[in-house]
Structure 1
Amino acid sequence: MVSMRRLLYVAEKNDVAKGVANILSKGAMQRREGRSKFNKIYQLQGQFQGQPALISVTSVSGHLMGNDFAADMKRWESNPIESCFDAPVYTTVPENMEPIARTLREESNKVDTLVIWTDCDREGENIGAEIVKVCREGNRHLDVYRAKFSEVTSAAINRAIQNLGRLDQRIVDAVDCRSELDLRIGAAFTRLQTLHLQRRSRLFASGDKQVVSYGSCQFPTLGFVVERYKEIESFIPEPYWRLIVEVTREGMKVEFAWDRVRLFNHEAVDVLYDECRDEGRGIVEEVTKKPKSRWRPTALDTVELEKLGVRKLKMSAKEVMSIAEKLYSNGWISYPRTETNKFPKDFNLNNLVALHNGDQQWGAFAAEIGQRGANPRNGNKSDEAHPPIHPLKHATQANLQPREWQVYELVVRHFLACCSWDAKGQETKVTLMVGEEKFVATGLQIEDKGYMEVYPYDKWSDKQLPRFTRGEEITDFMLRIADGETTAPLLLNEADLISLMDKYGIGTDATHAEHIEKIKERKYVGVQPDGRFLPGFLGLALVDAYDEMGYAMSKPQLRADLEKQLEAICKGERTKQEVLEEQLGKYRAIFVQSEANQHLISATLNRYMDSNASLAATAPAVAGGAPRGRGRGRGRGASVVAQIPTNAVPPVAASTRGRGRGRGRGANAAAGGGGATRGRGGAGGGGAFPRAPPVTNDQKPCMCGIGSTLRTVQKEGPNKGRQFWTCNKPMGAPDKCNYFEWAA
């Protein structure tokens, strides 16, 4: 008689454990309670390595164990801060995870084999090792296997069972190394900053216990925000001028752009303008038509999913990934944490596409892909562990919550777009010579929308041109000079920040959102209603202070170097101990000097606060921190078109500067456009964010006594395009006055 083997399967989340058990039992599993009410135990009978088996499937809830110092080290002021670099570190099960640990110990005592079903990435491998440690407290004779899978589907789970391996200790060591470094370095610098500022900065009220944390990923993330803010603050706009030719034909106004684009020498543009005007005619030098393609997106990886979620769905990266993980756990999509953006050659894409043939929204497009054959546009990255993110089952809006549906729909549409074909069109290019100056107009006729039929996140519009003939002479054109100013870049949004973190190796696709949330939670940065990040005084002061000490703590190089060393551990090129000693030595040397110069932290913070207080005392009050704007227009022989929005910066910022200028010149010159705007991030509420001096037009004060702003009539009618001066306070502000004056 063959004895029945007894096994324990442990997944990273309850939903995955339930999915694995349901697949292996073909729905015949039985559920019972564990010590944790959130982590059930699923019982089933099956096969293991050709033998009958009684299998229990349960789960943890992420990391089961954590690193910490001994109890005496938790009294910050009782120990030298530098001792954080060499005090003993203990790995234990925290109290909130103890019920799960008890379940694992008890269940392990009943079995002979343990199979780890955690996510197949670095963190999952490390969590698997934690599970083994706890389970062997219940049964030290356990035989341990590792299941590798990327989706909770019958094919993937059964394939994992047939190809069991072992835990990779090198990956476990890499995560352990990073965890210990994060604890030691974070504790040392966090204690240094917090204790000093609590004693020396006015930002902290008496008895305020706010933690001023440091993290080797957190700080570079903050550094990107601060660097962009300072780039904007130091930006000096430079005026430029350009020539524009306009031709009206067949009822269409065509604008020919200058081949030189723009020049920064006003007199030079005036000379060229005069030469073109004196020429009095233009010759169509060339009319060309050529095929134009708009490429379909590459296969979807985690970073791209996060960025698309931020830009297209208006969600935070954290929310996008939380929803994606839930969709994965419930079997709707593949594993959402992957660095891979190319499908393996043997991947059965046609079957996955066919799942959507009957969908009301994209079924016809999926069927057409099936007829042509799935042809994915692949990228060049692979983590050798997981395929790109793709749908596993067809869902309707009735199957999912609204936010879940948005993420699922994005994944499906991106997958179908990737597997389809590029958009095709014909581009027409007309080259016009006026004297020695070249001007170009382009048009586009879309012939096949391709992937864009199913992918509304991209736009590509027809742009018609009337007929032009090579060699024809044009005399009825309008020539004008447009002027403008170079513009500063925008503040970073979350998608921008994730791109920079990915580029410089700050964190992983699994932790980007976590680091961003941390700098928001610590109030190192604020988020404006448009989703852009504004550094707070505390964030600015920390970055500046370490820069002044000579340590670029906010730059990505330190953390990027650590990530390279962790990768070397995973490959077996370095040991955990070698990397630990090297990195701790480097950070300890920086800490010693930082401790000697910690007064720079409070001095820098106080300097920002003093500057803000001075501006607040002298600047007119702005309701709700609303921005101020200014517009100017100048014309020679024509009116000016310039409109500056006064609500471009939300209440977290105290001011924005914007200027647009347009100028027309000559008997046949049209109205000037070409204005540009520029914005500066300003202040946040509660004195925590920087405040810049408001920009007003003091020559045109409104009834409130503040500088007015120039606006342009947009409503259809006889006054459309006409400019007027009005109160600078935001539209809808209760104290906005009724000042109005037509501009000259």
Structure 2
Amino acid sequence: MHLIITEKHDTAKRIAAILSDKKPDKERVNGVDTYKFNETAVIGLSGHIVEVDFPKEYNNWQKTDLQNLIHAEVLTNPTHANIVTAIRKLGKTAQHLTIATDYDREGELIGVEALNVVKKVNPDISADRVHYSTITPAEIKKAFSNPVKIDFNLAAAGESRQVIDLIWGAVLTRFVSLSSGRLGDKFLSVGRVQSPTLAIIVNREKERETFISVPYWELYATLINGGEFEAQHKKGRFLDQAEAEATRAKLGKTGTVKSIILGKRSEKPPMPFNTTEFLRAASAIGISPSNAMRIAEFLYVNGYISYPRTDNTVYPETLDMKGIIESFLNTEFKEYAQKLLSGKLQPTRGKKETTDHPPIHPATPVKRSQLKDDEWKLYELVVRRFFATFAGETLWETMAVTVDISGEDFGANGARLMEPGWRWYYSYNLPEDRILPKLAEGQSLTVKEVNLVGKETQPPSRYGQGHLIKIMEDLGLGTKSTRHEIISKLYSRAYVHGNPIQPTKTAFAVVEALEKYASTITKPDMTSKLEKDMDEISEGKITEDFVVRESRDMLGEVFKDMTKNKDLISEALRNGLYEDRVIGTCQKCSSDLIIRKSKKGSRFIGCSGYPNCDFTLPLPKIGQIVVTEKQCSDHGLFHIKIVNKGKRPWEIGCPHCNFNEWQKKIEEEKKNGLIKEPKIEVKEVKSNKTKRNSSK
């Protein structure tokens, strides 16, 4: 029997359907669906079927010596016992095994993990590997006709990441959580990629907080004569208000066109999509990186797009680009496909060329009605980007006008789209035309009005998720497959909220303590080096054992610094975490209102002046509480939101206002005889305000 192993169940089902002459037989083995045809069995995994972990004696955080944990043995344990048993049963009688998991570091490791399980019951089984980038009939059949050797070095690189992340994450997370007293489900996670990423966000927020706005003034003149347009004083910003007002005062009622410069400007078509650029583009149309990757995975497994995890920005010569475009001639993209096919197909090239997977591109057409809204939005994004890479430049006609008003130069710039080029195919964020009236040098213009506008410099903006992923890539933090997961983890641990991303006080506390007493953890240098080392493992230049040993030594040095400053770290964390519990000032006694826990474990907002002051407000029973910077104008309390994994954040707003609205609702229901004795608990009050907030 020939055993084929894929990474997911849906992939197994699709590949079996493609390879079989007729519909394969579905058979359950140990509760796992498999697909059989012509002495062949195809089984899908659920990603990793084993995981790395420490021996059980290290499970107790308080009793474990963290110095010993750095050098502790790492075991491999099954995570999906039913799948492991099914693979053993099938593998025991198989003569040959083919790994058909995704072709990347993780996929290779997942395949090798399954092979190792089979080899324990069938040591002599032969094995090979197939590579594919789209799950289409043509490519799958081609891949299985040309199997290759398993890349054990690539799998070793994936395993080294697992081991290193386990050791660093366990040691640092336990140290920080124990030092701060945050245990249980509220522990403070720290990691070799997560922490430098969080530091980037926190330090950006510090830049914003320390930013000192500088006032400035801009001077505008509205001009008319055959058309109306606005021109700005050529100085741009006046830092001296007196100078700006003096300039305005001297302006007369007419101006003269001093010069007109006509020109042309072109925009080159975009490069093909790699993972980072795809996630940034998805973020720009309102789909978060984590959702974008989840949807992209669905589109890939169903054969609609190519493999979505790639660094490549150059289409390989083997890619049938013309064939892909022709496949859209009978779709709603017909007009675009026809235009491309009428010219020479010469795609753009990005800076990075790899041989594992091509840039992300459409694989087969699909109807809009077959996909959900967000699935279609991303599919259309991929199609349009692919088409745009074959299109011509976008051409603009430009016009720069200088107008003399009482000896002061004012300027206005116009632009008109002459040839849409690639923007016709990829129409996202298309700049609008700025049309100036027809003018001639020496022409007299009437000054309709003059406006002096006072402004002030703004702090640097917070990072959006797409922008942060690009920064992570530039700094060597994480990989194309893990960066969106790191950001999702920061949200789930309530280190950050909102988009653009805003850190919580807890994030400040953790980053500031680590930067001060163990700065290596918050800098990208160390983790960037380990990423390069993992690449060298996959290339066979160094061994997994060497890199893991090196990373343990690095962690040992970091741990020395942390141990030496343990008391200072503990104090800094506890002080910072207290701030993240403060909701505002008690209106009864002026003490801090903080998030507290009762003896029974329920949460509430209580006064720090207790027992002298007994003011309280209720809180929801579950979910991470995030204190935002927005304050209630009536009660002075910070707005809060509740974060539950996998759900949309619940915007409570001011807890006092929310409680008042809830009480009001209860009174109305009592008056109408709907309830008799209400139990006091927090419920989401869907006022217009709440609805607006929650829809953002």
**Normalising by the residue count of structure 2, what TM-score does the alignment of the two structures yield?**
0.81
User: 1:338 maps to which residue?
Assistant: 310
1:244 corresponds, among 217, 220, 224, to 220
Count residues with an aligned counterpart.
610
Residues 1:117 and 1:262: Cα distance change in structure 2 (over 3 Å): same
SS for the counterpart of 2:519 is coil
Distance 2:7 2:131 in 1: 12
Letter in 2 for 1:496: H
User: 1:150 maps to which residue?
Assistant: 133
Distance 1:381 1:82 in 2: 41
Distance 2:587 2:569 in 1: 27
User: 1:705 maps to which residue?
Assistant: none
Letter in 1 for 2:277: E
2:251 corresponds, among 277, 280, 285, to 277
Residues 1:92 and 1:685: Cα distance change in structure 2 (over 3 Å): closer
Q: Does 1:218 align with 2:228?
A: no
User: 2:148 maps to which residue?
Assistant: 165
Instruction: State the identity %.
Output: 28
Deviation of 1:168 after TM superposition, in Å, equals 1.8
Q: Deviations over 1:310-363 (max 9, x none)?
A: 220x22211111111111111111111111122124432121112222223x32
SS for the counterpart of 1:427 is strand
User: 2:461 maps to which residue?
Assistant: 490
Q: Given that residues 179 and 573 in structure 2 are in contact (C-alpha distance below 8 angstroms), is that contact kept between their aligned partners in structure 1?
A: no
Deviation of 1:478 after TM superposition, in Å, equals 4.4
Residues 1:435 and 1:159: Cα distance change in structure 2 (over 3 Å): farther
Letter in 1 for 2:484: A
Distance 1:618 1:466 in 2: 61
User: 1:307 maps to which residue?
Assistant: 280
Distance 1:216 1:614 in 2: 29
Q: Does 1:591 align with 2:574?
A: no
Letter in 2 for 1:461: E
Distance 2:582 2:322 in 1: 66
Distance 1:616 1:476 in 2: 52
User: 2:350 maps to which residue?
Assistant: 379
Distance 1:213 1:67 in 2: 18
Deviation of 1:613 after TM superposition, in Å, equals 7.5
Q: Given that residues 34 and 42 in structure 2 are in contact (C-alpha distance below 8 angstroms), is that contact kept between their aligned partners in structure 1?
A: yes
Residues 1:36 and 1:382: Cα distance change in structure 2 (over 3 Å): farther
User: 1:24 maps to which residue?
Assistant: 19
Deviation of 1:601 after TM superposition, in Å, equals 3.6
Q: Given that residues 264 and 396 in structure 2 are in contact (C-alpha distance below 8 angstroms), is that contact kept between their aligned partners in structure 1?
A: yes
Distance 1:612 1:539 in 2: 9
Deviation of 1:236 after TM superposition, in Å, equals 0.8
Letter in 2 for 1:561: K
User: 1:645 maps to which residue?
Assistant: none
Residues 1:432 and 1:545: Cα distance change in structure 2 (over 3 Å): same
User: 2:46 maps to which residue?
Assistant: 61
What pairs with 1:131-142 in structure 2 (closer than 5 Å)?
A: 131-142=114-125
What pairs with 1:371-450 in structure 2 (closer than 5 Å)?
A: 371-434=342-405, 437-450=408-421
SS for the counterpart of 2:41 is strand
User: 2:680 maps to which residue?
Assistant: none
User: 1:324 maps to which residue?
Assistant: 296
Letter in 2 for 1:323: I
Distance 2:185 2:36 in 1: 48
Distance 1:259 1:344 in 2: 49
SS for the counterpart of 2:584 is helix
User: 2:660 maps to which residue?
Assistant: none
Distance 2:688 2:639 in 1: 21
User: 2:508 maps to which residue?
Assistant: 540
Distance 1:511 1:194 in 2: 24
Distance 1:64 1:99 in 2: 10
SS for the counterpart of 2:62 is helix
Distance 2:59 2:581 in 1: 37
User: 1:124 maps to which residue?
Assistant: 107
What pairs with 1:53-202 in structure 2 (closer than 5 Å)?
A: 54-94=39-79, 97-198=80-181
User: 1:637 maps to which residue?
Assistant: none
User: 1:511 maps to which residue?
Assistant: 482
User: 2:204 maps to which residue?
Assistant: 228
Q: CA RMSD in A?
A: 3.0
Distance 1:476 1:149 in 2: 66
Q: Given that residues 217 and 515 in structure 1 are in contact (C-alpha distance below 8 angstroms), is that contact kept between their aligned partners in structure 2?
A: yes
**Normalising by the residue count of structure 1, what TM-score does the alignment of the two structures yield?**
0.76
User: 1:666 maps to which residue?
Assistant: none
User: 2:37 maps to which residue?
Assistant: 44
Letter in 2 for 1:335: Y
Residues 1:524 and 1:612: Cα distance change in structure 2 (over 3 Å): closer
2:329 corresponds, among 357, 361, 373, to 357
Distance 2:132 2:243 in 1: 66
Residues 1:62 and 1:486: Cα distance change in structure 2 (over 3 Å): same
2:230 corresponds, among 247, 255, 258, to 255
Deviation of 1:219 after TM superposition, in Å, equals 1.0
User: 1:481 maps to which residue?
Assistant: 452
Residues 1:619 and 1:535: Cα distance change in structure 2 (over 3 Å): farther
SS for the counterpart of 2:142 is helix
User: 1:667 maps to which residue?
Assistant: none
Distance 1:366 1:27 in 2: 33
| Structure 1: runs of 5+ lacking an equivalent | 1-5, 46-53, 199-203, 622-650, 658-681, 688-693, 695-730, 735-744
Letter in 2 for 1:82: Q
Deviation of 1:474 after TM superposition, in Å, equals 4.1
Distance 2:471 2:563 in 1: 30
Distance 2:42 2:485 in 1: 29
